[in-house]
Structure 1
Amino acid sequence: MSGILDSVNQRTQLVGQNRLELLLFKLSSRQRFGINVFKVREVLQCPELTSIPKLNPYVRGVAHIRGQTISVIDLSMATGDEPIENLQTAFIIIAEYNRSVQGFLVSSVERIINTNWDAILPPPKGTGKASYLTAVTEVEDELIEILDVEKILNEISPLNTEVSSEITDNINVGDNTEKLIFIADDSSVARNQVKKALSTLGMKMELAKNGLEALERLKEIAAETGDVTDTVGLLVSDIEMPEMDGYTLTAEIKNTPELKKLKVVLHTSLSGVFNQAMVTKVGADDFIAKFHPDELTAAVQKWLLKTPDIIE
């Protein structure tokens, strides 16, 4: 298991090609789950956990790993299932989300699979608002479930979505007051966080659940006027989304005449030095790490005030 992520740096070539790799794992049942390898720092056998009073019940304890104290969340309990019982045979997936590092307790870790984002599909209809799924895919005739980790983390430790008075007292969107901000994110929690933060700008907003849905809708809007920027002031997009990722979405926008003047801000919990290179490669205008309401609002306001590029 120690070598499962040894070649992670070589996997950066998949980014921007609508491809990803998933680390497969199990919780308390036979069902397999997947997590994007780029979220994962390390996989290790569950070490001794230290209990701390008044922790959230889904947090089984803290682990001291490489000089850092990390909270260990039982993903089985957090999704409404039975707790993982045998910690001696369990594993911890050390992952980074929303500028913080967490440990996810799982019963077993299996292998890494290579797939396409267009093979990652939204959850089946009827799963309901209580579902913790953000996507599903099929591997060797078996359904692999991808958890909405942002929803889980927000239930354990809700993020602040309030924008400070320092930002709200100086709101200025120029001539964009009648335009809308378009938001694309597969996590319902993340979409609502972005929407709430950006509501301080006083602009209309439209939301999409993935990159393909966003692209199709933006083309519909552009068809009405010939240029999407007549209606849309800016796009804020996640990177990891079913059917079409944010990098591919951005590249499609910049290569489509009626869309290419649209400013694109990528807003994601992915981290790593490869991100800035990919932002440049696909033509995105900015990259903001999730989730800081002041930084996001300030960045959106800045790009709304930028004069659209004149592109022949």
Structure 2
Amino acid sequence: MATNLVENNSLLDSVDARTRLAGSNKMEILLFSLGTRETFGINVFKVREVGKAPHITKTPNMPHGVEGLVSLRGNVIPVLSLVSFLDLQDPPKEPGKTMMVAEYSKRTLGFLVHEVDRIIRVDWEKVRAPESVLSSNQGLITAITELDNGTLVSLLDVEQILANAFGEAIIVDIPPAQVAEDTGVFFVDDSVVARRKIAEVFDKLGVKHKHATNGVEALGRLQGLAAHAKQTNSPLRNDIRLILVDAEMPEMDGYVLTKHIKSDSRFDGIPVVMHSSLSSEANRAMGQAVGVDAYVAKFDAEGLAETLRPMLER
């Protein structure tokens, strides 16, 4: 894999270009290597720039996998060695000297890798959950896709990696919402960590919840709930007061899922909120382009609760 370093203005498309991907069920992946024969990928929308790693300042009591801190344009950011988190065959001794600077949930971080290859565009329907593939890394690999030459690409669950490094977000006391006891919501997210934290928020709000792990599963379950409501001649809103969707998911992303929901009159009056670690303005614009009612960056439990509360109580 040849190294091909790219900087912010050439790596990322313009807001308009990226917004055009919304609803197309396509994603752009930045391919990279961790010094083995395996190929890994990360959503390019999360990457701000790629370049040679600057001097890393070692600091005491850093969590496992965190190499230290770097100063980047006046900001001090932590740098994680991705090799340290994955169970690789014949792992390299060094963490790599190429750094990807990424933004997750309003947090900027550096990820050390060995080589960066290129950006590819793939259909989400060709992205699958890992199942038994790379079972030793289950929980850290969120999905698998295949290149035209047969090469498998493992997409990292960065949310799980960050939780392993820094611990999961602590959810403080959230006052219950003023809703009826049988108020229900539906959410979908492919990350185990995210599903667990979202469920905690809904539990504290005092609302019942159902969930799915990808967009295809979510659409099928939602359509089933809508069909049952029609059959029993009861308003669907009695069962689902709100739908919370992730942006990135195998098989069908949150943008396409939202388009399906918004084009189905059975879901009229049920707000759709996008909840994503893709927290840039470009991604908010993509959400707006498909009609989401609100966009919340992961993972701010209080912010999520306060966004959802008025929609649940009205």
After the TM superposition, which residues 57-206 of structure 1 pair with which residues of structure 2 at under 5 Å, given as runs? 57-81=64-88, 84-86=92-94, 90-125=97-132, 127=135, 130-140=138-148, 141-164=150-173, 167-168=174-175, 171-175=176-180, 177-206=181-210
What is the TM-score of this pair, normalised by structure 1?
Answer: 0.90
Q: Between the two structures, name the one with larger relative contact order (CA 8 Å, sep ≥ 6).
A: 2
Separation of aligned partners in 1, 2:288 and 2:81: 37
Q: How far apart are residue 92 of structure 1 and its match?
A: 0.6
- Please list every run of 5 or more consecutive structure 2 residues that lacks an aligned counterpart in the other structure: none
Q: How far apart are residue 286 of structure 1 and its match?
A: 0.6
Match of 1:309 in 2: none
Separation of aligned partners in 2, 1:129 and 1:229: 39
Separation of aligned partners in 1, 2:138 and 2:122: 27
Q: How far apart are residue 130 of structure 1 and its match?
A: 4.6
Match of 1:56 in 2: 63
Q: How far apart are residue 86 of structure 1 and its match?
A: 4.4
Match for residue 234 of structure 1 among 221, 227, 242: 242
Separation of aligned partners in 2, 1:154 and 1:90: 23
Match of 2:261 in 1: 253
Separation of aligned partners in 2, 1:277 and 1:110: 28
Amino acid at match of 1:146: L
Separation of aligned partners in 2, 1:134 and 1:258: 31
Amino acid at match of 1:69: V
In the TM superposition, what whole-angstrom CA distance separates every residue of 1:185-217 from its partner, at most 9, and x where no partner exists?
110111101111221122211111111111110
What is the TM-score of this pair, normalised by structure 2?
Answer: 0.89
Q: How far apart are residue 279 of structure 1 and its match?
A: 2.9
Q: How far apart are residue 55 of structure 1 and its match?
A: 0.5
Match of 1:39 in 2: 46
- Please list every run of 5 or more consecutive structure 1 residues that lacks an aligned counterpart in the other structure: 307-312
Separation of aligned partners in 2, 1:102 and 1:234: 32
Match of 1:264 in 2: 272
Separation of aligned partners in 2, 1:241 and 1:130: 16
Decide whether aligned partners of structure 1 residues 5 and 21 sit closer, same or farther in structure 2, where only a CA change above 3 A counts.
Answer: farther
Separation of aligned partners in 2, 1:279 and 1:210: 17
Aligned residues: 300
Deviant stretches of 4+, over 6 Å: none
Note if contact 2:49-2:101 (Cα within 8 Å) is conserved in structure 1: yes
Amino acid at match of 1:17: S
Match of 1:310 in 2: none
Aligned-pair RMSD on alpha carbons? 2.0
Q: How far apart are residue 80 of structure 1 and its match?
A: 3.2
Decide whether aligned partners of structure 1 residues 112 and 130 sit closer, same or farther in structure 2, where only a CA change above 3 A counts.
Answer: closer
Separation of aligned partners in 2, 1:139 and 1:260: 39
